[in-house]
Amino acid sequence: SAVISQKPSRDICQRGTSLTIQCQVDSQVTMMFWYRQQPGQSLTLIATANQGSEATYESGFVIDKFPISRPNLTFSTLTVSNMSPEDSSIYLCSVGRDLYEQYFGPGTRLTVT
Amino acid sequence: RKEVEQDPGPFNVPEGATVAFNCTYSNSASQSFFWYRQDCRKEPKLLMSVYSSGNEDGRFTAQLNRASQYISLLIRDSKLSDSATYLCVVNMLGEYGNKLVFGAGTILRVKS
């Protein structure tokens, strides 16, 4: 399995600001995903990060709120824009050779005050 | 109805016990199924895939019943280190293609 790192590991941000989360993989991967895990809940897919093209967003998530970049096969960023307390969550990137077996980064714990 | 449903637990069991978790899914067209494990404040990790014929990995056995849209995970001879949240995961067809849908998880606490 790939080694995945995320930065920052945690942050406390004020409402109205934006935070960019980085996901770095130690090898080239075809598929990268961004998930959100709200307190006490399971994971929800935000979007699939596509290399060289726009991300594909799931219902309920929009590019203006969660812009994603994927400049190459080992790196992606997720920005949480114009944050509100409801955005407080853990954000995780995952990678996979295919859709079916995914490996997760350690997550970014975001608190919005 | 949730796409993937699990009993949240917690299941409190003594060491050495056998414990079983169940999961139901809503989309009969789903083809791939998994169990992930998530330790407290950690990321989920793939525990095992679930195959149609059932499969075993050491103390862990996974079963799939397509007719009932039901998946199970059996843990034998529970260890303290098995304490975690177990996530049932199903591959489903979304708006833009296949995606993994996670259940809310079942909490297991193994006590000495």
pLDDT tens digits, B19-46: 999 999 998 888 889 999 999 989 999 9
> Three-state SS string across chain B, please?
CCCEEECCCCEEEECCCCEEEEEEECCCCCCCEEEEEECCCCCEEEEEEECCCCEEECCEEEEEECCCCEEEEEECCCCHHHCEEEEEEEEEEECCEEEEEECCCEEEEEEC
B103 lies within 8 A of chain A by CB: yes
Q: How far apart are CA B85 and CA A70, in angstroms?
A: 31
Backbone angles phi, psi at B82, to 5 degrees: -80, -10
Residues near B19 by Cβ (< 8 Å), separated by ≥ 6?
B11, B13, B74, B75, B78, B108
- Predicted confidence at residue A99, as pLDDT, reads 66
Chain A residues within 8 A of B93 when measuring between CB atoms: none
- Predicted confidence at residue B2, as pLDDT, reads 84
| Higher per-residue pLDDT: B51 or B23 | B23
B3 lies within 8 A of chain A by CB: no
Chain B residues within 8 A of A106 when measuring between CB atoms: 42-43
Minimal C-alpha gap between B42 and chain A (Å): 6
Tell me A76's DSSP state: E
| Higher per-residue pLDDT: B29 or B17 | B17
Burial degree of B32 (CB within 10 A; 0-12, 13-18, 19+): middle
Sheet holding A75-80, edge to edge: A4-7, A19-25, A75-80, A68-72
Chain B residues within 8 A of A42 when measuring between CB atoms: 87, 102-105
- Predicted confidence at residue A79, as pLDDT, reads 98
